[in-house]
Structure 1
Amino acid sequence: MSVSTLGAPARADVVEQTESPPERRKSSRLPDLRRWISPLAIVVLWQLACESGLLPPDKLSSPWTVLQTGVQLASTGELGDAFVVSTTRVGVGFVVGAAIGLGLGVVAGLSRWGDYLVDPPVQMLRTLPFLGLIPLFILWFGIGEEPKIALVALGVAFPLYLNVHSGIRGVDSHLVEATVALGYTRTERLVHVVLPSALPNTLVGLRQSLGVAWLSLIVGEQVNASSGLGYLINNAREFLRTDVIVVGLVVYAALGLATDAIVRLVERRALRWRA
C-alpha cells in the first residue's frame, strides 16, 4: 500500500518533467506581448498630451498626425526616394568600412608584426571624435556623396576591427595546441579553429557597426545634403514641420532595427554549433 502511494507521485513527476521541455520550447516561439505594454503606453500618453495641449504642434506633433504625414509622404514618393538614397549611402559605406575593419583586424590578430604595426595607429585614430571630422572630409572630398560615405565607413571600421582583433586573440590556446599535435597545417588551423572561434565576436562587432553606421548617416545627411532622410528632416526643420521630422526619425529607427534583426538571424544560424 505504501509502496504504490509513494511510487505514483514519483511517476507523475517523471512524466511532468519529460513533458515540460517541449511545452517550454513551444511557448518560447510565441512573441512576448508584454514587451509592447510600455511602448504602447508611451504612444497613448503622447497622443493624450497633444490633444490636451500640453504638447503644441510646433514642439511635437501627435502620433496620429505623424502617421498621416508618413502615409502622405509615402504616397507622393518623397519618402521612398529619400529611403533609397539613405540606404544606398549606408550600404556603400558599410561595405568599405567592413572591408577595412575586417582586413586590419585579421592582419593584427594573426600576425605579431601586424599587431605591432597596425594596432597602435588604429587605437589612436579610434579615440578621435570622428563626427568632428566632417569639416575635414568636406575639404578632402567636397560636398558630394564622398564625405557621407567616408563618415559611415569610418564609423563601421573601428567597432568591427576591435571585435575581430579581440576574437582572434581570444582563441583558446589549448585548441590550437591540439591542432598542432594532430598535424593541422596553418591554413587548416585558421579555417577550423581560429575563424569559428572569432565568429561570435565578429558578429557582435557587426551589430555595433550597423548601429554606428546609421548614427553616422544621420549626422552626415544633416550637412550639405540635397537628398535622403537627413535632408528631409533638415528641410522640415526650416518650416517647423515636426511631423515630418518624426517620420524621418521613425524610418531611421526602423532601418536600424531591421538591420540588427538580420544580423541576429545570421548569428542564430551561424552559431548553431554552440548549442
Structure 2
Amino acid sequence: MSISTTGVLTRARKRAAEPPRTAVRRPDLRRWISPVVLLAAWQLVSATGVLPPDKLSAPWTVVQAGLEAARSGELGDAFAVSLGRVGAGFALGAVAGVLLGIVSGLSRWGEALVDPPVQMLRTLPFLGLIPLFILWFGIGEETKIVLVALGVAFPLYLNVHSGIRGADPALVEASRSLGFSRAERLWHVVVPGALPQALVGLRQSLGLAWLALIVGETVNADAGVGYLINNAREFLRTDVVVVGLVLYALLGLVTDALVRLLERKVLRWRTR
C-alpha cells in the first residue's frame, strides 16, 4: 500500500470518527416581507386620511398608546390578571382532558363510557354556554376559568385518545413477546408513540385557551386585557383596542413557541 493511499484512509477514518456537523438554520428573512409591507400600507392609508382614526388608528399611534399604557402600569396589571385566568383554566382543562383521554384510549370499556358524553359536549359551541355558566357560577372569575378549561380539555382529549390508539401494533406485539409487563409496554411503547399527537393537542389547546379568554373577559370583567379593550371601546380609543389585541396575539405566539421548544426537547429521538 502506498503512502498516499494510507494517508487517504487515515483521513477517511478521522472524518468518520468525527461527530456530524449540524447545519445552522438561518432565519428566512423573506417571511418578514409581507408583514412589513402591510404595516407600511397601514401607516400610509392612515397618514393620508383614507383610514380615519375613529375606525383604526395608525401603527405609530398604536405603539405610542402601548408605551403609555405600559408606563402607567395599566398594561402590566391587565396582563397579570389575564395570565392568571389562563393558567388556572389551562391547569383544570389539561388535567381533565389528559385523564379522560388516557381512560378512553387504554380501555374499551373506558371508551364506551367516556367517549359518547365527551363527543356530545364537544359538538356544543362552548361559547354559547356562557349564559348557563353565568347562572351556575355568576359573573365572577369562575365563569372565565371554566370557559378556558373547556377550550383546553377537548383538543387534548382527542389527541391523547388518538395518540394512544395509534400506537404501532407491531411494536406492542414485539414488546409483549420480549416479556414486557403491561406497565412497561405503556411506558416504553405507548407513551412515546402518543407523545407527538399529545403535543399537537397541547398547541391547539393553548390557542383555544386564549380565544376562550377573550370571550370570557367580555362578560362583565373589571380587570384583564379584555376589560382594557372594552373600556377603550367605550371611549372610541381604537389605538388601545389594537394594543390589547396585539398583546393577546403575542401571548398566543409565545405559548406556542414554548410548546414547540418542548417538542424539540422531548422528541429528540424522533427522526426528521
Could you tell me the TM-score, scaled by structure 2's length? Answer: 0.92
Counterpart in the other structure of 1:182: 178
Q: Distance in 2 between matches of 1:84 and 1:211?
A: 18
1:141 to 137, 143, 147: 137
Report matched runs for 1:1-275 at 5 Å.
Answer: 25-26=23-24, 28=25, 30-275=26-271
* Structure 2: gaps of 5 or more residues: 1-15
Calculate the TM-score normalised by the size of structure 1. 0.91
Paired amino acid for 1:263 = V
The runs of at least 4 aligned residues of structure 1 exceeding 6 Å deviation read none
Hey, what's the Cα distance between the residues in 2 that align with 1:250 and 1:33? 22
Alignment coverage as a number of residue pairs: 253
Q: Which residue of 2 aligns with 1:4?
A: none
The residue type equivalent to 1:95 in the other structure is A
1:206 and 1:54 map into 2 onto residues whose CA distance is 42
- Offset of residue 32 of structure 1: 1.1
State the SS of the aligned residue for 1:273: coil
Distance 1:159 1:235 in 2: 32
C-alpha distance in 2, partners of 1:148/1:249?
Answer: 18
The structural deviation recorded for 1:25 is 1.4
Deviation at 1:249, TM superposition (A): 0.2
- Describe the SS at the equivalent of 1:117: helix
| Counterparts of 1:150 and 1:35, CA distance in 2 | 37
Corresponding residue of 1:12: none
Letter matched to residue 86 of structure 2: V
Residues of 2 paired with 1:117 and 1:179: CA distance? 28
Shift of 1:31: 1.1
SS state at 2:269 partner: helix
RMSD, aligned CA: 1.2
Percent of aligned positions that are identical: 72
> Any stretches of 5+ residues in structure 1 without a counterpart?
1-17
- Name the structure 2 match of 1:10: none
1:224 maps to amino acid: N
* Corresponding position of 2:10: none
- Counterpart amino acid of residue 25 in structure 1: A
Secondary structure at the aligned position of 1:272 is classed as coil
CA distance in 2, matches of 1:135, 1:268: 41
